[in-house]
Amino acid sequence: MKIEIKSEELKKRLYALLSAPLWGFRETVDAFAKACPREVADEQVNPDQLVGNEEFWTTIVNPELVKRRVGMVKYLEKLEESGQAVVWDGKGKGRGIVMTGGNQDTTARLLVTLRILRKEYKTSLPVEIFSFPGEIQDEALLKELEELNAVVKELPGRTKLNIWKNFQIKADAIVSSSFEEVLYLDSDNVPTRDPTYLFNADIYKKNGKAVFWPDLNKDHPDNPIWRLLGKPCDYSQWEIESGQIIISKSGNDGLNLAALHLASHMQEQHEFYFRLSGGDKDTFRYAFWALRLPFGVSPRYLSALGFKSQYDNGRFCGIAMLQYDLIDPPEAQATSHPTPLFVHGNLLKHMNLLPSGGGSPFSVIKRFSTDVAKSRELDGAKMYVYNVHGMCIDLELLGEAAVEKGGKGLKIVEEAFEEVYGGLLKRFSEIYYKHGGKGGGWR
């Protein structure tokens, strides 16, 4: 296949993708056994993803893999033919925050985040909010967003679909923003302080100016993404979650923009790719893998943030993913490891029953004693979601077969959210509710 792309470097990387090894499903079962031990993978994969798609994964044969690789190339060729830059061409200036939202609940949540950023942390970064056409029309809402220095933009040609994982515009939003460097935030993600300094983090500057944060689970060795990209199964990395992303379109010599376009392509082709990635989140990482581009990953595995449920015998219910800093700013009181920076309340919105007596849902941090993300000691651990009065995160140590792979000294640690890190987080709940945050029930 002849590739019609102007950039010689991008063309070289796309040829490498097209010529990458093609493996059959059965061929990889034994080949990946050592690098991605199945007794661990079966526990650490998202069970909904495995149960819903395991049979589908086995049906993907080499002609389908070739079709998907060619589809990526043709998508970029078509963009370039239409006059769009697929490699950064200098358009887009400065740094800013990008968010997506549009319905009543997502806009209510992003208002909370924006009020906190502007009024509590004095964050001065400009903000652009992207929505489906015609979603944000309320004059009072538009006026408040304007007062918060947030500009609402629509993504033309996009139609909101009636699917659970309706997140297929994140990559488009980042690409379409007027910024060169972007901090993307989900509407339910509240930083614990002004995050502007992240653009100066070494891990960002030295890894292609793209950094992602880990998710609860890992890619299963049966997942056809390994075969699609010709990449041997690598169990040293967690999946990523896209509640926060920091990226520069000019990073990796401008090829980060091409990766964002490929992520957009995968999100557009969600009927296929969301069955591999469980939503939009890992399409970003898969796009970087497709082009063999370096990127950074937050060095610390996430913790669960939640409360002890009086309605379930005191069981811990995690309602947020607590994600950690890439660097320690001076005000973090110099600890031995990064401090919490993002409270991604991805499950809080689904909760129907919260602490009685006005207790805060942000009260207990639950984490593993070893939480360096790349540590194989975490082969002995599992973070998972269960259903009670909504969806909750909890932690578990795995059985002997998995622990033998590396988690022998692993323990589960519980800490009071407002007391740890020198009291750095003691005002979070107060600030959250002061600016309109809800304890649950928004959809």
pLDDT at residue number 161 = 61
Measured distance CA(99)–CA(421) in Å, rounded: 29
276 residue type, one letter = L
How far is CA 279 from each of CA 165, 293, 422, rounded to the nearest angstrom? Answer: 6, 22, 36
Residues of the chain with CATH 3.90.550: 1-297
Of 297, 437, 264, 282, nearest to 361 (Cα)? 437
**Structure confidence at residue 334 (pLDDT):** 45
SS3 367: strand
Kindly give the confidence (pLDDT) of every residue in the chain, 443 residues in length, as a single tens digit, with 9 standing for 90 and above: 899 999 999 999 999 999 999 999 988 888 898 899 988 999 999 998 888 898 999 999 999 999 999 999 999 999 999 999 999 999 889 999 999 998 888 899 999 999 999 999 999 999 999 998 888 888 899 999 999 999 999 988 766 665 555 557 899 999 999 999 999 999 999 999 999 999 999 999 999 999 999 999 999 999 999 999 999 999 888 999 999 999 999 999 999 999 999 999 999 999 999 999 988 999 999 999 999 999 999 999 999 999 998 777 889 999 999 999 998 555 544 456 689 999 999 999 887 767 665 678 999 999 999 889 999 899 999 999 998 878 999 999 997 645 455 556 799 999 999 999 888 899 999 999 999 998 765 44
Q: What pLDDT, on a 0 to 100 scale, did the predictor assign at position 356?
A: 60
pTM: 0.94
Per-residue pLDDT at 333: 47
Tally Cβ neighbours within 10 Å of residue 364.
Answer: 20
CATH code linked to domain 1-297: 3.90.550
Dihedral sign for Cα atoms in the order 343, 387, 166, 223: positive
| DSSP notation for 308-358 | E-TTTTT-EEEEEEEEE-SS--GGG---SS--EEEEE-TTGGG-S---GGG
